Amino acid sequence: MKIKTAEFVISNTDVQKCPNTTIPEFAFIGRSNVGKSSLINMLTNRKKLAKTSGRPGKTQLINHFIVNNEWHLVDLPGYGWARVSKTDRGKFGDIIASYLLDRQSLVCTFILIDIRLKPQPIDLEFINWMGEKKLPFALIFTKADKISKNKVESHRAAFNRALKADWAELPVSFITSSLAKQGQEEVLDYIEDVMNSLD
Ligand code: GTP
Ligand code: MG
């Protein structure tokens, strides 16, 4: 997929106020500081479309962007620093859970994982929660430029081993670096394939 246009649409704290359209939507989520906003800028060839920060918790809203006037790209707040609550919706933050559970036009959520780290319980819990709710997702490993190629492969394998505890089949995954512009074509082509599969 070639990026022709990418524009900011609206920021919200409430899924009810998200754009009232049926165009297909792809969301990006992950722990705070994992590189969601940087990845969105890399994917869309825009330096400052999504706001990035060295400080965790920069993105606190549901941010809608429209790409090629064809699909919505959504930058979500990071999970992992929200207060843990016992309620189903509260665990990863009310805003995030309500959005993921109620947003009709959401087609696929990309869950971002920092490739430098060993499998983090919060990421595995979130992936399992998505599975329980039967929400489609794919994994994007981020910041691949920060470690050697060998480590990238061994960390990905370790993550897959952790997933195998709960999953019979491994999800689709991508290795990316926003700094080195790695993985752009693969992720965009996947989005295109998913859109083509919609009727
Ligand atoms: P929140 O909005 O706070 O949840 O963070 P985020 O997930 O949107 O992360 P963001 O894109 O703001 O990036 C966090 C930090 O990681 C910034 O300092 C980025 O420059 C850095 N970063 C993001 N992606 C990469 C990458 O691919 N390579 C390197 N080396 N640094 C990256
Ligand atoms: Mg962000």
Taking 90 as the threshold, does the pLDDT of residue 116 lie above it? Answer: yes
pLDDT at 16 over 90: no
What total number of domains does the chain contain? 1
Write the pLDDT tens digit of every residue in 1-11. 999 999 999 99
Q: Is 118 inside a domain boundary?
A: yes
How many percent of the chain have pLDDT more than 90? 74
Q: Which atom of ligand 1 is nearest to the CA of 78?
A: 4
184 lines ligand 1 (CB under 6 A): no
Question: What does the pLDDT read at residue 87?
Answer: 54
Q: Which atom of ligand 1 is nearest to the CA of 182?
A: 27
- pTM of the shown model: 0.93
What domain range includes position 53?
Answer: 6-192
In a domain, 198, yes or no: no
Q: Each residue of 40-55: pLDDT tens digit?
A: 999 999 998 988 777 7
Q: What is the CATH number of the domain that holds 14?
A: 3.40.50.300
CB of residue 57 inside a 6 A radius of ligand 1: yes
Position 197 in a domain: no
DSSP string, 150-174: HHHHHHHHHHHHHHHTT-SSPPPEE
* For residues 110-115, average pLDDT: 98
Indicate the pLDDT class of residue 149, thresholds 50, 70 and 90: very high
